[in-house]
């Protein structure tokens, strides 16, 4: 059911153009996956996601395990039917919650015991449990259970987590049964080059249909993140997809693609929208600011989404300042559209061998400092 095909490569970088086929459709890469943590991309309907042009979206195993529970999703016919989204879905394994819910969990060799952030109840996720939950959810791509560590972490802790992640990856592959799902391995190792290379070797040796780079965008400097991606690029199979987990800043998408990444996901577009911030061609725009109270220009003059075509900055500011849900919806729509369209433009530049020019021009314009940010 799962297939990845490389279409072409950038002649002067590691950037690649590909195509990924699943049981729920074919998606072009490189691509950005909006995050639908609890089987919904916050404030947006599936119909709006189709209109935007999304392919894959991501759902969260840990949260869906707590509510409504994998058995209810299975009885509904799987995640696609449950949330009425008939394009590809990827589910994470709960490994990120090992990092983000550090105060609510206890790690053992068998797995991780979590105290629910909802009601304090205890839940145990092992590599086998993580796969079992994801098989019940029925996503097209599922992830191995891993130990995502914070930044900074000691060398000793990073090494121990790496070794555990490799052992868990073998257990995940042994337990996985659904042939209509692709199980991806995850490379860990923190910011230590030798550990990253060791993790890559061990995970690649297990042989998965795709590989993710985990444990980045957790507080480390961007230069460290970019350097880690560059380090791993030649050590991950060229004929399989590469997924950079939890990264969604526009400049990071462009830089990640230039270093050979095919897949990205992040909560940022909808999270920023809820805080009144929008992506634009010249950087982030904080629509809450008083300077936009009488600004009747589009949110982003270069964007062709329906929000930018139909609504002014002044109106959007009014909605956000008034606490109206419509404001969150419109900004979320625009931000997700912005990243999906950015990836489409990147793919087009790869097709006509102009990616390096696109990268230079985009970053030069996007990194302009606004007065409000100075």
φ, ψ dihedrals at 105, nearest 5° = -140, 160
Confidence category of residue 371, pLDDT binned at 50, 70, 90: very low
Q: How many CB atoms lie within 10 A of CB 158?
A: 23
Q: Which of 244, 266, 288 is the last residue of a domain?
A: 266
Residues 196 and 295 grouped into a single domain: no
The answer to whether the bond into 25 is cis (omega within 30° of 0) is no
Q: How far apart are CA 342 and CA 233, in angstroms?
A: 22
Give the mean pLDDT of 216-223: 97
- What pLDDT sits at residue 369? 56
pTM: 0.97
Structure tokens at 170: 């073998």
- Residue-wise pLDDT tens digits, 296-334: 999 999 999 999 999 999 999 999 999 999 999 999 999
Residues 341 and 224 grouped into a single domain: no
- Supply the mean pLDDT for the chain: 96
Helix axes 355-366, 325-351, angle to 10 degrees: 150
Give the mean pLDDT of 364-372: 71
Host domain of residue 322: 273-373
Nearest CA among 212, 226, 197, 58 for reference residue 146:
212
Which residues partner with 89 through β-bridges?
57
Residues 26 and 130 grouped into a single domain: yes
Beta-carbon contacts of residue 176 (< 8 Å; ≥ 6 apart): 131, 135, 142, 183
Q: How many CA atoms are closer than 13 Å to the CA of 169, on its beta-carbon side?
A: 28
Nearest CA among 321, 334, 218, 64 for reference residue 228:
218
Helix axes 222-233, 193-206, angle to 10 degrees: 40
Residues 234 and 170 grouped into a single domain: yes
Provide the CATH number for the domain around residue 41.
Answer: 3.20.20.105
Residues 241 and 352 grouped into a single domain: no
Residues 165 and 91 grouped into a single domain: yes
- What pLDDT sits at residue 1? 85
Q: How far apart are CA 60 and CA 65, in angstroms?
A: 8
Total of domains in the chain? 2
Give the mean pLDDT of 147-165: 97
- What pLDDT sits at residue 98? 87
Residues 181 and 151 grouped into a single domain: yes
Residues 317 and 255 grouped into a single domain: no
Percent of the chain scoring above 90 in pLDDT: 97
Residues 139 and 158 grouped into a single domain: yes
- What pLDDT sits at residue 367? 84
Confidence category of residue 373, pLDDT binned at 50, 70, 90: very low
Is it the case that residue 370 has pLDDT exceeding 80? Answer: no
Is it the case that residue 74 has pLDDT exceeding 90? Answer: yes
Is it the case that residue 211 has pLDDT exceeding 80? Answer: yes
Residues 283 and 202 grouped into a single domain: no
Give the mean pLDDT of 79-108: 95
Residues 48 and 21 grouped into a single domain: yes
Confidence category of residue 99, pLDDT binned at 50, 70, 90: confident
Active site residues: 92, 265
Pairing of strands 263-266, 31-34: parallel
Give the mean pLDDT of 340-346: 98
Is it the case that residue 125 has pLDDT exceeding 90? Answer: yes
- What pLDDT sits at residue 104? 92
Kindly report the three-state secondary structure assignment for every residue of the chain: CCEEEEEEECCCCCCEEEEEEECCEEEEECEEEEECCCCCCCCCCHHHHHHHCCCCEEECHHHHHHCCCHHHHHHCCCHHHHHCCCCCEEECCCHHHHHHCHHHEEECCCCEEEECCCCCCEEEECHHHHHHHHHHHCCCEEECCCCCCCCCCCHHHHHHHHHHHHHHHHHHHHHCCCCCCEEEEEECCCCCHHHHHHHHHHHHHHCCCCEEECCCCCCCCHHHHHHHHHHHHCCCCCCCCEEECCCCCHHHHHHHHHCCCCEEEECHHHHHHHCCEEEECCEEEECCCHHHCCCCCECCCCCCCHHHHHCEHHHHHHHHHHCCHHHHHHHHHHHHHHHHHHHHHHHHHHHCCCHHHHHHHHHHHHCCCCHHHC
Residues 201 and 76 grouped into a single domain: yes
Structure tokens at 24: 């729920």
Q: Which of 266, 282, 305 is the last residue of a domain?
A: 266
Is it the case that residue 174 has pLDDT exceeding 50? Answer: yes
Q: How far apart are CA 358 and CA 344, in angstroms?
A: 12
Q: Which of 266, 301, 329 is the last residue of a domain?
A: 266
């Amino acid at each position: 059911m799962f297939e990845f095909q490389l279409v072409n490569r950038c002649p002067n970088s590691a950037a690649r153009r590909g195509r990924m086929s699943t049981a729920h459709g074919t998606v072009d890469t490189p691509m950005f996956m909006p995050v639908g943590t609890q089987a919904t991309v916050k404030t947006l309907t599936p119909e709006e996601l189709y209109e935007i042009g999304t392919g894959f979206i991501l759902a969260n195993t840990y949260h869906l395990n707590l509510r409504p529970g994998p058995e209810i999703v299975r009885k509904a016919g799987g995640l696609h039917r449950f949330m009425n989204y008939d394009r590809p879905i990827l589910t994470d394994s709960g490994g990120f919650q090992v990092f983000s819910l550090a105060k609510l969990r206890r790690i053992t060799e068998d797995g991780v015991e979590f105290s629910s952030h909802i009601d304090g109840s205890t839940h145990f996720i092992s590599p086998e449990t993580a796969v079992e939950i994801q098989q019940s959810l029925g996503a097209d791509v599922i992830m191995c259970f891993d130990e995502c560590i914070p930044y900074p972490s000691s060398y000793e802790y990073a090494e121990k987590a790496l070794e555990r992640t490799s052992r868990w990856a073998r257990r995940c592959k042994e337990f996985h049964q659904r042939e209509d799902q692709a199980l991806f391995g995850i490379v860990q190792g923190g910011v230590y080059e030798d550990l990253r290379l060791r993790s890559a070797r061990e995970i690649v040796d297990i042989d998965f249909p795709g590989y993710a780079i985990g444990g980045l965008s957790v507080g480390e400097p961007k230069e460290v993140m970019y350097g880690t991606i560059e380090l791993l690029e030649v050590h991950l199979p060229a004929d399989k997809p590469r997924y950079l987990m939890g990264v969604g800043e526009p400049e990071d998408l462009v830089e990640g693609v230039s270093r050979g990444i095919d897949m990205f996901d992040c909560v940022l577009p909808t999270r920023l929208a809820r805080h009144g911030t929008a992506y634009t061609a010249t950087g982030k725009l904080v629509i809450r600011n008083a300077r936009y109270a009488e600004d009747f220009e589009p949110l982003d003059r270069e964007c062709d989404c329906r929000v930018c075509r139909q609504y002014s900055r002044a109106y959007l500011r009014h909605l956000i300042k008034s606490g109206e849900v419509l404001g969150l919806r419109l900004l979320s729509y625009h931000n997700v559209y912005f990243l999906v369209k950015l990836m489409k433009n990147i793919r087009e530049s790869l097709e006509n061998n102009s990616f390096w020019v696109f990268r230079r021009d985009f970053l030069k314009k996007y990194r302009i400092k606004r007065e409000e940010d100075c």
